[in-house]
Chain A
C-alpha cells in the first residue's frame, strides 16, 4: 500500500477490504455504529443517508479508493418512471393489439397513471378490456430495460427476486410508493462495494 493510504494501485483488492474501507467511510459520514453497516444495509432506508451525505460519501470514496461513484446516474436510475414502457410505446401496443387509439391528451394524462389505472381508464372510455396477462407482459418488458440499465450502471446483475417483485408492482403502478421503496433497496452497501470492485478490476485490466 502506498504511503498515502490509497488502495488504488494494489492488486487483488478483495471485497472484504473494500467493504472495510466503505464501512469506515459510512460510519464517519453518517454517524452510524459500525455493526449497522452490513453488506445488506440500505444506504437510505437503513443507514439514513440523505442527499448531502451522498456528496460526502462520493468524495471520500473517490479519495480513498480512487473510484468515482456515478451518484448522479444512480439517482436518475432510481426515478421510478424508468420502470415503465414509454407512453408512446404503450399507445402503439394498444393500437396494434386492441385497436385502441389514444389521443395526445389522453397519452399525456395517462402517462403517469400506472398500467392498471391506464387499463381501467381504457375500459371506461373505450370499452376495451385489457387482459391482466398483457399488463404483466408490458411490465416485464419495461423492467427488462430497467434491469439492463441497472447492470450497466451498477456493474452487477439485478437480483432475480427483486426483478420479479418489480415486475409485479409495475404491472399495477410503477409510480407507487412501494415500487419506489423496492427500488431504493437496491442501494445497498454491497451494491456500492461490488461496483467499486468491478471498477477497480477494470482499471487493473486496462
Chain B
C-alpha cells in the first residue's frame, strides 16, 4: 500500500499518510576529511553517546558517512537539513545488523506533534557513497 501511495502523489495526498520524505548521500572521502580535520570536536557535536559505544576513539569514515547521511535524511523528512532546529545527536543511528533510527528529545517531540506513527528508514552504499532515506508515516498506513 505504501508503494502505491509513494508512486502516485495524488493518492498520497488523498490518503495523507506521508508526512515527510528525506534522502541524502555522503561521500566516504568527504567524511574522512571531516574526521581528519576535526576529530573529537566533530564527534562530540554530531553523535549521540550510544552511537560512539563500541566504535573506539574514532569511527571508520564509512560509518561516519552513513550516520551523516542518515541524520540528514531524517531531518530533511522533518522539513529541515542538518542546519535545522535540531541537534544532530537527537537522531541516533545504528547502521549495523538492520539500520535503526531513534529520535530523541525535541526531534521526538516534533514527530509526535505531527502525528508520525512510523518511520520508514534504511541506509545503503554504492561504491564510495553512503546514502539513507526516511519516510515519515502516520496512522498505521505503514506495513
Contacts and interface: CB of A to CB of B under 8 A. Distances in A.
Interface of A: 51-52, 54-56, 59-60, 63, 71-72, 74-76, 78-79
A76 B37 contact: no
Interface stretch (B81-89, B95-103, B121-129): B81-89
The B interface, classified by DSSP as helix, strand, loop or mixed, is: helix
Given A52-B68, A59-B41, A72 B30 contact: no
Contacts of B9: none
Interface string B26-40: 100011011001100
Nearest to A74: B83
B75 to A, nearest CB: 9
A72 B37 contact: no
B72 interface: yes
B17 to A, nearest CB: 16
Contacts of A79: 79-80
A51 B82 contact: yes
Given A59-B42, A59-B45, A54 B83 contact: yes
A79 B79 CA distance: 9
Contact of B84 (A52, A60, A63, A72): A72
A75 B41 contact: no
A202 B114 CA distance: 39
Contacts of B80: 75-76, 79
A54 B30 CA distance: 12
17 contacts: A51-B24, A52-B31, A52-B82, A54-B82, A55-B34, A55-B46, A56-B33, A56-B37, A59-B37, A59-B42, A60-B37, A63-B41, A71-B83, A72-B84, A72-B85, A75-B83, A76-B80
Which 8 residue pairs of A and B lie closest in terms of their CB atoms, listed nearest first? A75-B83, A51-B82, A71-B83, A51-B81, A59-B38, A72-B83, A76-B85, A56-B34
